[in-house]
Amino acid sequence: MESKVKNGRIEVQGKVIGILSQKNEDYISLTDMAKHKNPDATGLVISHWLSTRYTIEFMGLWESLNNEDFNVTEFGNIRNESGSSSYVLTTKQWILKTNAVGILATPGRYGGTYAHKDIAFEFGSWISPQFKYFLIREFQRLKELENDRLKLEWSVQRTISKINYGIHTDAVKENLIPPEVLKYQVQFIYANEADVLNVALFGKTAKEWRESNPDISGNIRDEATLEQLVILSNLESINSVLIRQNISQSERLLRLNEIAITQMKSLMSNRSMKKIK
């Protein structure tokens, strides 16, 4: 699968140089680099460099090692013709005749001639040893920054993944859907009305929760999920109405439990609740 194309930039001795990354390879703008030599005739600068016998030998070696479709026969013809002061080879001619992939001719606003970093460094040597030195240094700095960013993104993604996994497992452990009230709980008269709500929603009293969670400093409601807190608020209002209607505590417990189960099912599929979380 081909990787996405992305653009980058570095600055070398006051010249901004574009970098094109695709297929996990980096291509550096020879057009931008050539401006260091002659900003008004970048194509001519590149052509002069490409026409030298040494450059053609190097390009042929690189393509032979990295390009299965490289036209070796046509390369031989180019090599035989090179060497004279009158010989001129353009990037387009090189690409069309040899099926080269080390150099790219790109159209558009950010277009121009790009070359694989191995080839671009050789072009930098032709411009000047000093230029090549700063080119390599700035390119390496860019790669280090990209690696640091990727490491940070990976770390953040892993942390988020852990958090999401924890939320999921906690939800499973806590069983978000409230359990149905057991017969013995209905028959038991709770001294504290708050425990009526606790049993209806969490399936246990505050004391029972503390006994089963001795290592947690908070209480049963401190550890409640967002959905449980929403339902708890609703149950408090409903319970106050039921009390005024003189409905027995055991009957209220059954009704509140049914309401808690219904509301939890509804909240778990509610889009607005998911956005809040």
The pLDDT assigned to 45 comes to 92
- For residue 256, pLDDT over 60 is answered with yes
pTM: 0.52
The pLDDT assigned to 4 comes to 40
Identify the band that residue 117 occupies on the pLDDT scale cut at 50, 70 and 90: very high
Reported as a single tens digit per residue, the pLDDT across 17-55 is 888 888 788 999 999 999 988 888 888 999 999 999 999
pLDDT, mean over the chain: 80
| Average confidence (pLDDT) over 84-106 | 89
Reported as a single tens digit per residue, the pLDDT across 196-237 is 888 999 998 888 998 988 888 778 888 888 788 888 888 888
Please state, in angstroms and as integers, the Cα–Cα distance from residue 172 to each residue in 96, 112, 152, 212, following that order. Answer: 62, 57, 30, 17
Judged by average pLDDT, the poorest of 45-59, 138-152, 155-169 is 155-169
The pLDDT assigned to 164 comes to 46
Helix, strand or coil, per DSSP, at residue 104: strand
| Average confidence (pLDDT) over 85-90 | 84
Please state, in angstroms and as integers, the Cα–Cα distance from residue 79 to each residue in 82, 85, 123, 171, following that order. Answer: 5, 14, 18, 70
Task: Report how far residue 55's alpha carbon sits from residue 269's, in angstroms, rounded to the nearest whole number.
Answer: 66
Identify the band that residue 194 occupies on the pLDDT scale cut at 50, 70 and 90: confident
Task: Report how far residue 4's alpha carbon sits from residue 82's, in angstroms, rounded to the nearest whole number.
Answer: 37
